[in-house]
Amino acid sequence: MLPGVAGSPRRIPAARRSSLLILLFSSTALARVAPAQTELPRTAQSAGRDTSALAKPPAEQPVTLRANLGARLLFVQQGDSVIKSYAVAVGQDDYPTPTGTFTISKIVWNPSWRPPPDADWAKGKTAKGPGDPGNPMQVVKIFFHDPDYYIHGTDDVGSLGSSASHGCLRMDPSDVADLAKLIMEHGGQPRDENWFWRIIHSRREEKVVYLDNPVSLTIGE
């Protein structure tokens, strides 16, 4: 007699006993498989939805610039993290670099230079075109207080780390090119390397770029 089958102690025919055993084993197997087939999602929020979006990284934080006049350094920040820093020359005592928060929306590659008409220090100086050896504006000008103040490359790299400019922030030519490329990328005007190669090697061609997403610059002591 099979365990759990009520009735008389009669023997069950072998054929019927085999059928009962097959039915019993099949029911047991189905009971073991069923929970896996009906397992609920871990959270109701993801039930029936494409959860690939949940794995995407958060939106990239905007890039901002911060200049420390005392340290003669310019920092590039993304959120609270400093991702780059550059040595700069700042304004002389008689021509201080303005402090505060400014917006960068204009960049000029291979800039020309015109002496300020009312500046005593510029008397006797003449205008210089893009790529002119006597042009004090090297490679690129990054305007932060148009039209008088900008970050620019200089051929007087020995002045970096000191108070030497007429209010602007001077940088090494290669550093200011690197900075301008980064600002363009995060300001909504990225370019490929061929574009920059043509600009750098066509020094007589002035090129103005306006940013879709202006970048903030804070200057402090």
Domains annotated on the chain, with CATH? 63-220 (2.40.440.10)
Over residues 78-120, the pLDDT tens digits come to: 999 999 999 999 999 999 999 999 999 999 999 999 988 888 8
Looking at residue 116, what is its pLDDT? Answer: 87
Confidence band, pLDDT 50/70/90 cuts, at residue 65: very high
Looking at residue 104, what is its pLDDT? Answer: 98
Looking at residue 60, what is its pLDDT? Answer: 79
Give the type of residue at 99.
T
The Cα–Cα gap between 151 and 214 comes to 15
The stretch 198-210 carries a mean pLDDT of 92
pTM listed for this prediction: 0.72
Cα dihedral 122→126→127→133 (10° resolution): -100
Mean pLDDT in the chain? 81
The stretch 31-60 carries a mean pLDDT of 42
Over residues 123-157, the pLDDT tens digits come to: 889 999 998 989 999 999 999 998 889 999 999 99
Task: Give the burial class of 203: count Cβ atoms within 10 A of its Cβ; 0-12 exposed, 13-18 middle, 19 or more buried.
Answer: middle
The stretch 60-74 carries a mean pLDDT of 95
Confidence band, pLDDT 50/70/90 cuts, at residue 27: very low
Looking at residue 117, what is its pLDDT? Answer: 84
The Cα–Cα gap between 140 and 109 comes to 4
117 contact partners, CB below 8 Å, separation of at least 6:
none
The Cα–Cα gap between 172 and 157 comes to 6
